[in-house]
Chains A and B, each alone.
Chain A
Amino acid sequence: MSDVVLDVQNLRVEFPTRKGTLTAVDGISLQIRRGEVLGMVGESGAGKSMTGMSILGLLEPPGRIAAGSIHLSGDRIDTLDDRAMQTIRGRRIGAIFQDPLTSLNPLFRVGDQLVETIRLHTSLDKAQARERAKDLMREVGIPAVEERIDNYPHQFSGGMRQRIVIALALCAEPELIVADEPTTALDVSIQAQITALLKRLCRERGTAVMLVTHDMGVIAETADRVAVMYAGRLAEVGTVDDVVRHPKHPYTVGLMGSIPSLRKDVEELQMIPGSMPRLNAIPPGCAFNPRCMRAGPRCHREVPRIATEQSGAACWLGTQGGVA
Chain B
Amino acid sequence: MSIRPNAILEVDALERRFDVSAPWLNRLIERKPRQTLRAVDGVDFTIQRGQTLALVGESGCGKSTIAKLVTGLHPPSGGKIRFHGDRDRLQMIFQDPFASLNPRWRVARIIAEPLRTLRPDTPLDQVSARVEDLLRTVGLAPADGLKFPHEFSGGQRQRISIARALAGEPEFLVCDEPTSALDVSVQAQVLNLMKKLQKEMGLTYLFISHDLSVVRHMADVIAVMYLGRIVEIQPTADLFANPLHPYTQLLLDTIPDLEAPKRDRSPMAGEVPSPVSPPSGCSFHPRCPRAFDRCKQERPQRRPEVHNRRVACFAAETTLERIPHV
**Chain A residues at the B interface, C-beta cutoff of 8 Å:** 43-45, 143, 157-160, 186-193, 195-196, 199, 214-218, 220-222, 240, 244, 254-256, 258-263, 266-272, 275-276
Contacting pair B261 A189 (CB below 8 A): no
* A262 in contact with B213 (CB, 8 Å): yes
Choice from A186, A192, A270 contacting B59 with Cβ under 8 Å: A186
Question: Chain B 181-213, CB within 8 Å of chain A: the 1/0 string?
Answer: 011111111011001000000000000001011
| Nearest CB in chain B: distance from A183 CB, A | 10
A221 pairs with B184, CB closer than 8 A: no
Which B residue's beta carbon lies closest to that of A44? B183
A217 adjacent to B183 (CB under 8 Å): no
Total contacts A to B, CB within 8 angstroms?
124
Measured in the bound complex, the distance between the Cα atoms of B267 and A186 in whole Å is: 13
Q: Are A259 and B251 in contact (CB under 8 A)?
A: no
Known contacts A193-B267, A220-B256: does B213 contact A44 (CB below 8 Å)? no
The segment from B100-108, B128-136, B153-161 found at the interface with A is B153-161
With a cutoff of 8 Å between Cβ atoms, the chain A residues found around residue B322 in the complex are: none
Q: Decide: A215 near B256, CB < 8 A? Known: A188-B210, A259-B213.
A: yes
Chain A positions within 8 Å of B186 at CB level: 44, 275
- Is B31 at the interface (CB under 8 A from chain A)? no
Chain A residue at smallest Cβ distance from B182: A44
* Complex contact B258–A269 (CB within 8 A): no
- Residue from A44, A158, A262, A272 whose CB has the most chain B CB atoms within 10 Å: A262
Q: How far is the CA of A269 from the CA of B209 in the complex (A)?
A: 17
Q: Which 4 A-B pairs have the closest CB atoms?
A: A217-B256, A258-B188, A192-B267, A260-B217
Query: Is the Cβ of A189 less than 8 Å from the Cβ of B254?
Result: yes
A271:B255 contact, CB within 8 angstroms: no
- B98: Cβ under 8 A from any A Cβ: no
**A262 to B267, Cβ gap below 8 A?**
no
- Given A262-B216, A275-B153; 18 other pairs, CB 8 A cutoff: A188-B212, A188-B255, A189-B58, A189-B254, A189-B267, A190-B272, A216-B258, A220-B261, A221-B257, A221-B261, A221-B262, A221-B265, A222-B263, A262-B257, A262-B259, A272-B185, A272-B188, A275-B186
